[in-house]
Amino acid sequence: MPRILWSVGATVLAIPALAHNVTILSDAPVNQEIAGLLVWVLVFSVIVFGVVAGALAYTVWKFRARPGDDELPPQVHGNDRMEIVWTLIPLLIVMVLFVLTAQTLVKLKRPVAGAMVVEATGWQFWWDFQYPDEGLRTAGELVIPVGQTVEVRITSGDVIHSFWPPSLTGKADAIPGEVNRLQFLATKPGNYYGYCAELCGDSHANMRFRILALERQDYDRFVETYRAYTAPEPISPLEAQGKELFDAQCAACHTVKGTTARGVIGPDLSLFGLRTTLGSGVWENTPENLKRWIRDSAAMKPGSKMPAFPQLSDADLEALTAYLYSLKLDGFDFAQLPRY
Protein backbone atom coordinates (compact mmCIF):
# COMPACT_ATOMS: atom_id res chain seq x y z
CA MET A 1 0.00 0.00 0.00
CA PRO A 2 2.61 2.63 0.96
CA ARG A 3 4.54 1.74 -2.17
CA ILE A 4 1.52 2.60 -4.31
CA LEU A 5 1.15 5.88 -2.46
CA TRP A 6 4.77 6.67 -3.15
CA SER A 7 4.45 6.06 -6.87
CA VAL A 8 1.23 8.07 -7.08
CA GLY A 9 2.94 10.90 -5.22
CA ALA A 10 6.00 10.78 -7.44
CA THR A 11 3.84 10.85 -10.56
CA VAL A 12 1.89 13.85 -9.34
CA LEU A 13 5.12 15.67 -8.54
CA ALA A 14 6.59 14.81 -11.95
CA ILE A 15 3.66 16.28 -13.87
CA PRO A 16 4.81 19.92 -13.73
CA ALA A 17 8.29 18.98 -14.93
CA LEU A 18 6.84 16.90 -17.73
CA ALA A 19 4.38 19.57 -18.77
CA HIS A 20 7.19 22.07 -18.75
CA ASN A 21 9.21 20.04 -21.22
CA VAL A 22 6.28 19.28 -23.45
CA THR A 23 5.02 22.83 -23.69
CA ILE A 24 8.29 24.55 -24.26
CA LEU A 25 8.90 23.18 -27.69
CA SER A 26 11.07 26.24 -28.12
CA ASP A 27 11.82 29.19 -25.91
CA ALA A 28 9.60 31.38 -28.06
CA PRO A 29 7.90 34.02 -25.87
CA VAL A 30 4.43 32.60 -26.53
CA ASN A 31 5.40 29.17 -25.31
CA GLN A 32 7.12 30.63 -22.25
CA GLU A 33 3.97 32.52 -21.33
CA ILE A 34 1.74 29.52 -21.78
CA ALA A 35 4.10 27.23 -19.88
CA GLY A 36 4.00 29.75 -17.02
CA LEU A 37 0.21 29.54 -16.92
CA LEU A 38 0.30 25.78 -17.02
CA VAL A 39 2.55 25.69 -13.98
CA TRP A 40 0.02 27.73 -11.99
CA VAL A 41 -2.80 25.42 -13.03
CA LEU A 42 -0.78 22.38 -12.07
CA VAL A 43 0.21 23.81 -8.70
CA PHE A 44 -3.42 24.47 -7.84
CA SER A 45 -4.45 21.04 -9.10
CA VAL A 46 -1.85 19.33 -6.95
CA ILE A 47 -2.89 21.30 -3.86
CA VAL A 48 -6.60 20.62 -4.42
CA PHE A 49 -5.90 16.97 -5.06
CA GLY A 50 -3.75 16.73 -1.93
CA VAL A 51 -6.30 18.41 0.32
CA VAL A 52 -9.30 16.46 -1.00
CA ALA A 53 -7.59 13.08 -1.09
CA GLY A 54 -6.05 13.75 2.33
CA ALA A 55 -9.38 14.71 3.88
CA LEU A 56 -11.00 11.66 2.34
CA ALA A 57 -8.31 9.31 3.62
CA TYR A 58 -8.44 10.91 7.08
CA THR A 59 -12.23 10.58 7.25
CA VAL A 60 -12.25 6.98 6.12
CA TRP A 61 -9.61 6.12 8.67
CA LYS A 62 -10.91 8.15 11.60
CA PHE A 63 -14.59 7.23 11.28
CA ARG A 64 -14.17 3.62 10.26
CA ALA A 65 -16.42 1.01 11.87
CA ARG A 66 -14.82 -0.50 14.94
CA PRO A 67 -15.75 -3.86 16.50
CA GLY A 68 -18.82 -3.32 18.62
CA ASP A 69 -20.01 -0.26 16.68
CA ASP A 70 -23.54 -1.45 16.13
CA GLU A 71 -25.36 1.81 16.35
CA LEU A 72 -25.67 4.58 13.83
CA PRO A 73 -23.16 7.39 14.48
CA PRO A 74 -24.60 10.86 15.27
CA GLN A 75 -26.31 12.20 12.15
CA VAL A 76 -25.42 15.68 10.88
CA HIS A 77 -27.31 17.72 8.37
CA GLY A 78 -25.41 20.46 6.58
CA ASN A 79 -22.59 22.68 7.77
CA ASP A 80 -22.92 26.27 6.62
CA ARG A 81 -19.41 27.30 7.48
CA MET A 82 -17.78 24.45 5.58
CA GLU A 83 -20.03 24.94 2.60
CA ILE A 84 -19.10 28.59 2.38
CA VAL A 85 -15.40 27.76 2.64
CA TRP A 86 -15.50 25.12 -0.07
CA THR A 87 -17.36 27.44 -2.37
CA LEU A 88 -15.11 30.42 -1.77
CA ILE A 89 -11.79 28.61 -2.22
CA PRO A 90 -12.52 27.29 -5.74
CA LEU A 91 -14.00 30.67 -6.64
CA LEU A 92 -10.80 32.34 -5.55
CA ILE A 93 -8.67 29.86 -7.51
CA VAL A 94 -10.72 30.41 -10.64
CA MET A 95 -10.41 34.16 -10.20
CA VAL A 96 -6.63 34.01 -9.83
CA LEU A 97 -6.39 31.83 -12.95
CA PHE A 98 -8.70 34.20 -14.81
CA VAL A 99 -6.57 37.23 -14.01
CA LEU A 100 -3.35 35.42 -14.99
CA THR A 101 -4.89 34.19 -18.24
CA ALA A 102 -6.30 37.61 -19.12
CA GLN A 103 -2.88 39.17 -18.51
CA THR A 104 -1.21 36.63 -20.78
CA LEU A 105 -3.84 37.11 -23.48
CA VAL A 106 -3.49 40.87 -23.46
CA LYS A 107 0.29 40.58 -23.51
CA LEU A 108 0.31 38.11 -26.40
CA LYS A 109 -2.27 39.97 -28.48
CA ARG A 110 -0.69 43.39 -28.14
CA PRO A 111 0.73 44.26 -31.56
CA VAL A 112 4.43 45.05 -31.62
CA ALA A 113 5.24 48.18 -33.61
CA GLY A 114 7.92 47.82 -36.26
CA ALA A 115 7.32 44.13 -36.88
CA MET A 116 8.59 42.71 -40.14
CA VAL A 117 5.64 41.96 -42.41
CA VAL A 118 5.21 38.77 -44.39
CA GLU A 119 2.17 37.80 -46.42
CA ALA A 120 1.22 34.13 -46.32
CA THR A 121 -1.37 32.79 -48.73
CA GLY A 122 -2.66 29.25 -48.39
CA TRP A 123 -3.44 27.27 -51.52
CA GLN A 124 -4.46 23.67 -51.91
CA PHE A 125 -1.94 22.36 -50.73
CA TRP A 126 0.96 24.72 -50.22
CA TRP A 127 1.90 28.14 -48.81
CA ASP A 128 3.05 31.15 -50.77
CA PHE A 129 5.16 33.67 -48.83
CA GLN A 130 5.69 37.25 -49.95
CA TYR A 131 7.97 39.79 -48.29
CA PRO A 132 6.48 43.11 -49.41
CA ASP A 133 9.20 45.30 -47.88
CA GLU A 134 11.98 43.22 -49.36
CA GLY A 135 10.20 42.56 -52.66
CA LEU A 136 10.85 38.82 -52.34
CA ARG A 137 8.89 35.62 -52.54
CA THR A 138 9.36 32.03 -51.40
CA ALA A 139 7.12 28.99 -51.20
CA GLY A 140 6.80 26.37 -48.51
CA GLU A 141 9.75 27.74 -46.54
CA LEU A 142 9.54 31.12 -44.85
CA VAL A 143 12.87 32.76 -44.06
CA ILE A 144 12.97 35.16 -41.09
CA PRO A 145 15.61 36.78 -38.88
CA VAL A 146 16.12 35.75 -35.25
CA GLY A 147 15.20 38.27 -32.56
CA GLN A 148 12.83 40.24 -34.76
CA THR A 149 9.06 40.19 -34.32
CA VAL A 150 7.47 38.97 -37.51
CA GLU A 151 3.90 39.74 -38.46
CA VAL A 152 2.42 37.18 -40.80
CA ARG A 153 -0.68 38.38 -42.65
CA ILE A 154 -2.55 35.26 -43.46
CA THR A 155 -5.11 34.72 -46.17
CA SER A 156 -6.18 32.04 -48.62
CA GLY A 157 -6.57 31.80 -52.36
CA ASP A 158 -9.17 29.03 -52.32
CA VAL A 159 -10.63 27.26 -49.28
CA ILE A 160 -10.07 27.83 -45.56
CA HIS A 161 -6.65 26.78 -44.28
CA SER A 162 -4.95 27.51 -40.98
CA PHE A 163 -1.36 28.59 -40.40
CA TRP A 164 0.24 26.86 -37.42
CA PRO A 165 3.93 26.73 -36.44
CA PRO A 166 3.46 25.25 -32.95
CA SER A 167 6.96 25.79 -31.62
CA LEU A 168 6.73 29.52 -32.41
CA THR A 169 3.12 30.52 -31.83
CA GLY A 170 -0.54 29.53 -32.07
CA LYS A 171 -2.67 29.23 -35.18
CA ALA A 172 -4.60 31.64 -37.34
CA ASP A 173 -7.12 30.73 -40.01
CA ALA A 174 -6.42 31.55 -43.64
CA ILE A 175 -9.75 32.71 -45.03
CA PRO A 176 -10.33 33.87 -48.63
CA GLY A 177 -10.92 37.62 -48.78
CA GLU A 178 -9.81 38.18 -45.19
CA VAL A 179 -6.49 38.84 -43.53
CA ASN A 180 -5.63 37.44 -40.09
CA ARG A 181 -2.50 38.55 -38.32
CA LEU A 182 -0.13 36.53 -36.21
CA GLN A 183 2.96 38.00 -34.58
CA PHE A 184 5.80 35.95 -33.24
CA LEU A 185 9.49 35.94 -32.61
CA ALA A 186 12.12 33.22 -32.95
CA THR A 187 14.78 33.47 -30.27
CA LYS A 188 17.27 31.10 -31.86
CA PRO A 189 18.20 30.04 -35.38
CA GLY A 190 16.49 26.91 -36.58
CA ASN A 191 14.10 25.11 -38.80
CA TYR A 192 10.65 25.37 -37.24
CA TYR A 193 7.95 23.02 -38.48
CA GLY A 194 4.53 24.30 -39.53
CA TYR A 195 1.23 22.67 -40.37
CA CYS A 196 -2.07 23.49 -41.99
CA ALA A 197 -4.54 23.20 -39.11
CA GLU A 198 -7.85 23.32 -40.95
CA LEU A 199 -9.14 20.37 -42.96
CA CYS A 200 -8.87 21.68 -46.52
CA GLY A 201 -9.08 18.69 -48.86
CA ASP A 202 -7.36 15.45 -49.85
CA SER A 203 -3.85 16.55 -48.96
CA HIS A 204 -4.60 18.62 -45.89
CA ALA A 205 -2.25 16.40 -43.91
CA ASN A 206 0.43 16.97 -46.56
CA MET A 207 0.16 20.74 -46.40
CA ARG A 208 3.08 21.70 -44.25
CA PHE A 209 5.64 24.44 -44.22
CA ARG A 210 8.86 25.43 -42.52
CA ILE A 211 10.04 28.62 -40.95
CA LEU A 212 13.78 29.06 -41.28
CA ALA A 213 15.07 31.50 -38.68
CA LEU A 214 18.54 32.85 -39.47
CA GLU A 215 20.93 34.99 -37.47
CA ARG A 216 20.41 38.65 -38.33
CA GLN A 217 23.54 38.96 -40.47
CA ASP A 218 22.71 35.75 -42.36
CA TYR A 219 19.19 36.98 -42.96
CA ASP A 220 20.42 40.33 -44.25
CA ARG A 221 22.85 38.55 -46.52
CA PHE A 222 20.00 36.30 -47.72
CA VAL A 223 17.82 39.30 -48.55
CA GLU A 224 20.63 41.10 -50.27
CA THR A 225 21.74 38.18 -52.43
CA TYR A 226 18.19 37.08 -53.21
CA ARG A 227 17.28 40.61 -54.29
CA ALA A 228 20.20 40.73 -56.67
CA TYR A 229 19.63 37.16 -57.81
CA THR A 230 18.61 36.11 -61.25
CA ALA A 231 18.62 32.43 -62.17
CA PRO A 232 22.13 31.42 -63.24
CA GLU A 233 22.67 30.63 -66.90
CA PRO A 234 22.83 26.86 -67.53
CA ILE A 235 26.44 25.69 -67.33
CA SER A 236 26.00 22.31 -69.03
CA PRO A 237 24.03 20.98 -72.00
CA LEU A 238 21.93 19.01 -69.53
CA GLU A 239 20.93 22.11 -67.57
CA ALA A 240 20.29 23.98 -70.83
CA GLN A 241 17.99 21.21 -71.98
CA GLY A 242 16.27 21.30 -68.57
CA LYS A 243 15.73 25.04 -68.83
CA GLU A 244 14.26 24.65 -72.30
CA LEU A 245 11.85 21.98 -71.07
CA PHE A 246 10.96 24.07 -68.06
CA ASP A 247 10.23 27.17 -70.08
CA ALA A 248 8.03 25.16 -72.41
CA GLN A 249 6.14 22.94 -69.95
CA CYS A 250 6.31 24.48 -66.50
CA ALA A 251 6.66 28.25 -66.87
CA ALA A 252 2.92 28.82 -67.17
CA CYS A 253 2.53 27.91 -63.50
CA HIS A 254 5.94 28.49 -61.91
CA THR A 255 8.19 31.51 -61.51
CA VAL A 256 11.97 31.45 -61.70
CA LYS A 257 13.35 34.89 -60.92
CA GLY A 258 15.20 36.50 -63.80
CA THR A 259 13.80 34.20 -66.50
CA THR A 260 10.69 34.24 -68.67
CA ALA A 261 9.03 31.79 -66.26
CA ARG A 262 6.52 33.96 -64.41
CA GLY A 263 3.60 31.66 -63.63
CA VAL A 264 1.92 32.15 -60.27
CA ILE A 265 -0.42 29.16 -60.15
CA GLY A 266 2.20 27.00 -58.47
CA PRO A 267 5.01 27.64 -55.96
CA ASP A 268 7.86 30.03 -56.79
CA LEU A 269 10.82 27.82 -57.74
CA SER A 270 13.50 30.55 -57.94
CA LEU A 271 15.52 29.00 -55.11
CA PHE A 272 14.53 25.39 -55.55
CA GLY A 273 18.13 24.22 -55.18
CA LEU A 274 18.18 25.63 -51.63
CA ARG A 275 14.98 23.95 -50.55
CA THR A 276 15.16 21.41 -47.76
CA THR A 277 11.79 20.00 -48.77
CA LEU A 278 9.61 19.22 -51.73
CA GLY A 279 5.83 19.26 -52.03
CA SER A 280 5.35 21.92 -49.32
CA GLY A 281 7.37 20.68 -46.43
CA VAL A 282 6.57 17.00 -46.75
CA TRP A 283 9.28 15.14 -48.67
CA GLU A 284 13.04 15.49 -48.47
CA ASN A 285 14.28 17.41 -51.48
CA THR A 286 16.17 14.58 -53.23
CA PRO A 287 16.58 13.93 -56.97
CA GLU A 288 14.56 10.70 -56.70
CA ASN A 289 11.65 12.43 -55.00
CA LEU A 290 11.82 15.31 -57.46
CA LYS A 291 11.61 13.01 -60.47
CA ARG A 292 8.72 11.09 -58.95
CA TRP A 293 7.04 14.41 -58.20
CA ILE A 294 7.36 15.80 -61.72
CA ARG A 295 6.17 12.59 -63.33
CA ASP A 296 3.01 12.34 -61.22
CA SER A 297 2.79 14.56 -58.16
CA ALA A 298 -0.73 13.36 -57.33
CA ALA A 299 0.63 9.85 -56.84
CA MET A 300 2.75 11.25 -54.00
CA LYS A 301 0.34 13.90 -52.83
CA PRO A 302 -3.32 13.04 -53.38
CA GLY A 303 -5.28 15.92 -54.89
CA SER A 304 -2.17 17.84 -56.01
CA LYS A 305 -3.13 20.59 -58.46
CA MET A 306 -0.02 20.06 -60.52
CA PRO A 307 -0.71 17.99 -63.66
CA ALA A 308 1.15 14.72 -64.29
CA PHE A 309 3.77 14.59 -67.03
CA PRO A 310 3.78 10.97 -68.23
CA GLN A 311 5.15 12.09 -71.62
CA LEU A 312 8.51 13.17 -70.16
CA SER A 313 11.31 10.63 -70.73
CA ASP A 314 13.84 9.66 -68.07
CA ALA A 315 16.36 11.87 -69.87
CA ASP A 316 13.92 14.80 -69.72
CA LEU A 317 13.49 14.28 -65.97
CA GLU A 318 17.26 14.14 -65.55
CA ALA A 319 17.58 17.46 -67.39
CA LEU A 320 14.77 19.16 -65.45
CA THR A 321 16.29 17.96 -62.18
CA ALA A 322 19.73 19.31 -63.13
CA TYR A 323 18.18 22.67 -64.00
CA LEU A 324 16.06 22.96 -60.85
CA TYR A 325 18.99 22.14 -58.57
CA SER A 326 21.09 24.84 -60.23
CA LEU A 327 18.66 27.45 -58.86
CA LYS A 328 20.23 28.57 -55.61
CA LEU A 329 22.19 31.23 -53.77
CA ASP A 330 25.81 30.49 -53.01
CA GLY A 331 26.83 30.26 -49.36
CA PHE A 332 23.54 29.06 -47.87
CA ASP A 333 22.63 25.60 -46.62
CA PHE A 334 19.35 25.48 -44.73
CA ALA A 335 19.57 21.74 -44.20
CA GLN A 336 22.11 22.41 -41.43
CA LEU A 337 19.68 24.33 -39.22
CA PRO A 338 18.64 22.62 -35.98
CA ARG A 339 15.04 21.42 -36.15
CA TYR A 340 12.27 22.34 -33.75
267 is an interface residue for ligand HEC by CB under 6 A: yes
Peptide bond into 209 cis (omega under 30): no
* Min separation Cβ 161 and ligand HEC, Å: 12
Distance CA 164, CA 182 (A): 10
Which contiguous run of DSSP H or E holds residue 277?
strand 277-278
Distance CA 84, CA 90 (A): 11
152 is an interface residue for ligand HEC by CB under 6 A: no
171 is an interface residue for Cu ion by CB under 5 A: no
Question: Exposure of 229 by Cβ count < 10 A (0-12 exposed, 13-18 middle, 19+ buried)?
Answer: middle
Among 137, 161, 301, 328, binds ligand HEC (CB under 6 A): 301
Residue 119 pairs in a beta bridge with 130, 153
* Min separation Cβ 198 and ligand HEC, Å: 15
Nearer residue to Cu ion within complex by CB, 83 or 202: 202
Distances, alpha carbon 10 to alpha carbons 13, 15, 42, in Å? 5, 9, 14
Distance CA 268, CA 254 (A): 6
Residues with Cβ within 8 Å of residue 34, at least 6 apart in sequence: 23, 104
Interface with Cu ion in residues 195-224 (CB under 5 A): 196, 200, 207
Q: Which region among 82-90, 182-190, 222-230, 262-270 touches ligand HEC (by CB under 6 A)? A: 262-270
Question: Exposure of 71 by Cβ count < 10 A (0-12 exposed, 13-18 middle, 19+ buried)?
Answer: exposed
Q: Which region among 14-22, 37-45, 128-136, 277-285 touches ligand HEC (by CB under 6 A)? A: 277-285
Binding mask 217-246 for ligand HEC (x = CB under 6 A): -----------------------------x
* Min separation Cβ 203 and Cu ion, Å: 8
Nearer residue to ligand HEC within complex by CB, 56 or 265: 265
Q: Which residues bind ligand HEC (CB under 6 A)?
A: 125-126, 139-140, 246, 249-250, 252-254, 265-267, 269, 278-280, 293-294, 301, 304-307, 309, 320
